[in-house]
Structure 1
Amino acid sequence: MNKENKQELIKRLHAEKCSCVIAQGEDTRTFHKKGVNDLYELVCHHPAYLKGAYIADKVVGKAAAALMVMGGIKEVYTDTISLSALTLLRKAHIPVDFECLVPYIQNPDKTGWCPLEEKCYHEDSIGGIFYIIRNFINKQTPFFKRLFAWK
């Protein structure tokens, strides 16, 4: 992906108020769910879409970074990234461009840690982080909604 294409994805991320924009070859998709829900669904149900993809995302915490590593993305841009997420992506040799590096991702009210960032903070294995994410999402989403959410 060339520099102009990357800039277009970043512009689209902000103009369309997406949570993230993912380009896989010629196929570009926008996502709007909160947190890591879209990435989690892709890893679980459409992993091939992430393999080698470029992602433009507004906020990347450690959980999102782990899902990106699991999915095999090629490169990521984010407005804001936590130090632990940046460390995880660099350890996986995934190039990262960002605007703002923060010690941790805050919750939506800006009164403390994002709950998932806090839960994943001390876990270093991708598998362990995935397990934390799965349990977190399953507790947040009623069973029947999870059952019929996958297409």
Structure 2
Amino acid sequence: MAAAGHRNGARRWWRPLAALFGALALGSGSVSAQEAPAHWMAYAAAVGGQLQQRLQQGQDPQAQRVLAWLQAHPDMPAPLPVSLWITADGRISKLAFDSLGDAQVDADLRATLQASPLPAPPADMRQPLRLGLVLTR
């Protein structure tokens, strides 16, 4: 991905890595990325791409606040594990991630990720969908 110039140098972007962080899971059981059916992996990749686009929206003040905070905190560990529970109509009904240490940034990240529906998940897919969000240059 090409990096765009920014006031303080190279711009960093969130890049979701679908299922590379972990797995697709339901309850206490989980399925590794190697064991997951191809259509689950394709869905995870599509969702990861959509979340990446949301976090890169230059006109979205919430996404911009998240990116600005992350640029000010380059020591933040990565990837950030995110668990998504997605309804049959594509809404994120539940979103879980470890706090970034700033309540406003957590709220902005949550609002950005939940801004609009995602594609409907495969009917047989276990949930939550777990992604690792990685900050890269």
Same fold (TM over 0.5): no
- TM-score computed with the length of structure 2 as normaliser: 0.24
The structure that is strand-richer by fraction is: 2
The structure that is helix-richer by fraction is: 1
